[in-house]
Amino acid sequence: MGFYVAQLLTGLANASSLFLIACGLSIIFGVTRIVNFAHGSFYMVGAYLAYTIVTTLDGGIFGFWFGVVVAAVIVGLLGLLVEVTILRRIYHAPELFQLVATFGVVLIIQDAALAIWGAEDLLGPRAPGLDRAVRIMGEPIPEYDLALILIGPLVLAGIWLVFHRTRWGVLVRAATQDREMVGALGVNQAWLFSAAFVLGAALAGLGGALQIPREAVSLQMDLSVIGDAFVVVVIGGMGSVAGAFVAAVLISVLNAFAILIFPQISIVLPFIVMAIVLIVRPYGLFGKEGSEHGAPSEPEQPLRLLSSRATIVVMALVFALAASPAVVSDFTTILLVDVMVATLFAVSLHFMMGLGGMVSFGHAAYFGVGAYAAAMAVKFAGLPMIPAMLIGPLGAAAAALFFGWFCVRLSGVYLAMLTLAAAQILWGVTFQWQDFTGGDDGILGVWPAKWASSDRVYFYIAFVLCVGGIWFLRRVAHSPFGYGLRGIRDSDVRAEAIGMDVKFHQWMGFALAGGFAGLAGVVFAFSKGSVFPDVLGIGQSVDGLIMVLLGGIHALAGPIFGAGVFVLIEDWVSRLDYWRFIFGAIILVVVLLAPDGVAGGVDRLLRAVGLRREERA
Amino acid sequence: MNVLEVRGLTKSFGGLVAVEDVSFDLAAGEFLALIGPNGAGKTTCFNMVNGYLRPDRGSVELEGRELIGIKPRRIVRMGVGRTFQITRTFLSMTVLENVQMALISHHRRMYDIFSRATRLYRDEAMALLELVSMQEQAGRACSELAYGDLKRLELAIALAPDPALLLMDEPTAGMAPSERVALMELTAQIVAERGVSVLFTEHDMDVVFAHAHRILVLNRGALIAEGTGDEIRENALVQEVYLGGGTVFAAAEARDA
């Protein structure tokens, strides 16, 4: 019995820290409608700052708590800096922009932290006065855990008081419900948004600072916590602080007991819970309908077919690509395969996100399933290359059919979060199912057939599959099916009113996009000769989002530009020290200066120098 | 023969009875108006007929076939077109493409992934646009149309599958007075030519009395009157509902005194 109580108390202590970070995320989303990827970075910086201040002061009980609070305040100021310099400019941009911009901040903070605190994990001091364990029903419970269990509800009560007893709090709640109305009543929105962002960031910093007696401070803290924080916010209902608390307790306590039965489950459990909650309650436990969408975006222009001259240019480029292995070095040939794989992946993501309006934070799942399905077909079934290349996309499409069935029942941010959950579940399974997937060691020895083993021959295989796939998806974009997807994105009510089966149509679009992501994964697997769990990771999904954004989401050519630019920049930058910093800065520059992406930027440049005629009025 | 037969339609939201025991018929070729003050239950009534809302009780039959429990998209396929109070169109497409989409869906080619959508049913779509005098604007992006033009486009979209029944929810809401009359004249003329039956809700009494063959008056969820324009004008109960039967003024006077 005592053992179970101890497990429960550990769960509750974890819940408190999870709540602190998640409630800040929820407040920020509720008011500004920004999905803040950088929230994990605030948490990490809070921990680092607290470590530095507490160890420098070395001032006993007072020094420890003073350090924690000061760390939270400084993180709040950091949040203010980020809000004023970056986010304030993109409140009216589509969700994707905001997400990618905050991811740029993640990269920059990661390298800044590396430069300041170094790559070593830092072991924090224990909290003075709370450094022992007490025995409860015979089990030792750290005193600090008990303090945390108290701090969570105290912060919740504090936020409740601020939200219900102060004018500012009432305005925040009002803005969460209806931002435009609050603006119309003459409230200075910019100030309100900044304040909400500072509060959210400071709470994340507090969460991180309170963590230092419990775990080592490391550079991996940011991305390891952000997944769980998203889950908690979504389960609770975006924008609901009380919901975040309930969800944090639910997840942490479930986790504390689930690991007793099945120790490997902790990586995927939160995502499984989120998937179940979203299927039963599409807006989370305390969320309201309509809370799922970010800022409304400008309608895009109708699709036009390429002019005959543009077609000639495209054909010429394709022929140049086809002829390139004869001229360029083997190294460049391999790089070009990477570009083609990335382009097909980005085009498939754009197909579902740009045309279908279904933003996916987990598109890597299908890329990865394609790669793994092919690799396993070779490794375990001993199949030759060609059949394995067929199995990959089919496997990915099957996975997309399965997860898509759930995802298309949601929309906006909730849909994006469920795609993320799906990807994390698949990643967790791949990572932990050692016997079957090789776990962290991956699957090695996935080489092309003998006749295709030279770089040049494989280049042509990749060329046929990727360029063919891209051509096919573009063709579908102009077909009734692709137009239907765009129609649903524009107005699902209208789509239903002309007799379309909206959910089924989206489901099929999801599966098609997944299948082609899988094809990209297959080409990738055979070109590298191995697959590892990161092919389904958040990093790969975000890479895809960045490619689509770099290229511009409103143009069919966008992802093609974007993927090419991305791979070339990555190839160049990743050889440098602090490449994350540079890459993050590039992302921010693109987001702030060319919000319509490279395709849009090129377009505007051509107009500015008079090379392109304006559309007739 | 009746195109639509509605019997005992009832719907409550929580404790509020929005529509109670409403029954009416719609004859073939008839232009039937459903009017009533704000909150009378017009839109609720409407959404039950077109399948967006499931009634607690009652039946809606289209040419003898029950519509209750059938999904809106199937009801469309059974020959019921509709327009929206606030226009809903595919803003990222041109005017012509919007009509083409309705035709593609009607001909069940939505899952075609090989044809070019813009080349399908072009002539038919053009003919529909001519019907509502929108042919000049066929190539324009829908997002740059004036509101009145969007309303006419919606009419063309609704007529694309050649429906037997057209449901129009506040067809002239948000339009300038002169445009309203023009749109309803156009609608009345098309309806007469094609033999479509129409059920519409409306706030503008000029529109209602000028075009409706028959009028239903709804108040607090119940049908209180039914008849031609003249009959409705003379109806004491309707006058009371619309102009106030003295109870409101009496109360106000009592308070002021």
pLDDT bucket at B106, cuts 50 / 70 / 90: very high
Query: Which residues are bridge partners to A578 per DSSP?
Result: none
Residue-range domain boundaries for chain B? 1-79+166-257, 87-162
Most A-contacting residue of B76, B104, B136 (CB-CB within 10 A), to test interface = B104
- Asked if A493 has any chain B CB less than 8 Å from its own CB, the reply is yes
- The sign of the dihedral angle between the CA atoms of A463, A464, A470, A475 is positive
A325-to-A296, A460, A527, A529, A567 alpha-carbon distances in Å: 46, 9, 15, 20, 18
What lies within 8 Å, CB to CB, of A575 at 6+ separation is none
Strand partners, B26: B4
Tokens of A188: 């200075």
Three-state DSSP class for A451?
helix
CA distances from A279 to A282, A285, A399, B30, B239 (A): 6, 11, 17, 45, 50
Interface probe with A: pick from B52, B113, B114, B151, most Cβ of A within 10 Å: B113
Which contiguous run of DSSP H or E holds residue B25?
A: strand B16-27
Tokens of A400: 């997309």
Residue A84 is classified by DSSP as: H
* pLDDT tens readout for residues A312-346: 888 888 888 888 888 888 888 888 999 999 999 99
CB–CB contact B97 A483 (8 Å): yes
Provide the CB-side half-sphere exposure for A432 (13 A, CA): 14
- How does strand B80-83 pair with strand B165-169? parallel
Residue A377 C-alpha, separation from nearest chain B C-alpha, in angstroms: 30
Domain boundary among A518, A536, A552: A552
Inspect the interface and report whether the beta carbons of B92 and A500 lie closer than 8 Å: no
Query: Mean pLDDT across the stretch B2-7?
Result: 90
Indicate the residue among A530, A552, A574 that finishes a domain. Answer: A552
CA of A485 vs chain B CAs: smallest distance (Å): 10
Q: Which of A498, A502, A512, A556 is the best substitution to test chain B (most B C-beta atoms within 10 A)?
A: A498
CB contact under 8 A, B112 and A478: no
pLDDT at B257 > cutoff 70: no
Measured CA to CA, the distance from residue A549 to residue A414 in angstroms comes to 20
Which residues span the domain enclosing A314? 308-552
Does residue A139 share a domain with residue A87?
Answer: yes
Q: pLDDT band at A614, cuts 50/70/90?
A: very low
Cβ contact B82:A496 at 8 Å = no
pLDDT in tens, A555-574: 777 888 888 888 888 888 88
**Rounded to whole angstroms, how far apart are CA atoms A88 and B152?**
40
Do both A265 and A314 map to the same domain? no
Residues A338 and A229 reside in one and the same domain: no
**Of the partner residues A300, A305, A484, the one whose CB lies closest to the CB of residue B92:** A300
Chain B residues lying within 8 Å of A478, measured CB to CB = 116-118
DSSP helix/strand/coil, A366: helix
Q: Who contacts A156 (Cβ-Cβ below 8 Å, separation ≥6)?
A: A19, A23, A241, A242, A245
Give the residue ranges of DSSP H helices in B40-87.
42-49, 72-77
CB contact (8 A) between residue B161 and residue A499 = yes
Query: Element (H or E) spanning A20, and its range?
Result: helix A2-32
CA distance B102 to A498: 5
Boundary (domain end) residue, out of A504, A526, A552: A552
ipTM strictly over 0.90? no
Task: Select from A480, A499, A508 the Cβ nearest to the Cβ of B73.
Answer: A499
> In this structure, are A156 and A228 located in the same domain?
yes
CA B17, B173, B246: angle at the middle one, nearest 5? 55
Superfamily of domain B1-79+166-257: P-loop containing nucleotide triphosphate hydrolases (3.40.50.300)
- Name the nearest CA neighbour of B19 among B177, B158, B231, B216: B216
Q: Cβ contact (<8 Å) for B112 and A483?
A: no
Q: Is residue A326 part of a domain?
A: yes
Burial of A315 (0-12, 13-18, 19+ CB in 10 A): exposed
DSSP SS3 for B168: strand
The pLDDT of B232-257, averaged and rounded, is 66
Q: Is residue A607 part of a domain?
A: no
Chain A: nearest CA to B154, how far in angstroms?
A: 10
Q: Which residues of chain A does B85 touch, with a Cβ-Cβ cutoff of 8 Å?
A: none
For residue B216, pLDDT over 80 is answered with yes
The minimum CA-CA distance between B29 and chain A, rounded to whole Å, is 22
Q: Is the pLDDT of residue A617 over 50?
A: no
pLDDT at A464 over 90: yes
Residues A276, A313: one domain? Answer: no
CA A30 to chain centre: 18
Answer whether B88 sits within 8 Å of A497, measured CB to CB. yes
Q: Tokens representing A248? A: 């944090």
Could you tell me the CA-to-CA distances from A520 to A370, A372, A514 in Å, in that order? 8, 12, 10
How close does chain A come to B62, measured CA to CA in Å? 17
Checking if the pLDDT of A295 tops 90, the result is no
Buried b (16+ CB within 10 A) or exposed e, B3-16: bbbbeebbbeeeee
Residue A564 covered by a domain: no
Tell me what pLDDT residue A616 has.
40
* pLDDT at residue A107 tops 80: yes
Count of domains forming chain A: 2
Amino acid at B19: V
Q: How far is A489 from chain B (nearest CA, A)?
A: 8
Confidence of residue A297 (pLDDT cuts 50, 70, 90): low
> Would you say residue A299 lies in a domain?
no
Query: CB distance A479–B112 less than 8 Å?
Result: yes
Q: Verify whether the Cβ–Cβ distance A482 to B113 is below 8 Å.
A: yes
Chain B residue closest in CA terms to A498: B102
Q: What is the pLDDT of residues A212-232, one digit of tens each?
A: 888 888 988 888 888 888 889
> Is the distance from CB of A37 to CB of A103 less than 8 angstroms?
yes
From the list B88, B102, B116, which residue is nearest A479 (CB)?
B116
The CATH number of the domain holding residue A456 is 1.10.3470
Cα B9 off chain centre by: 18
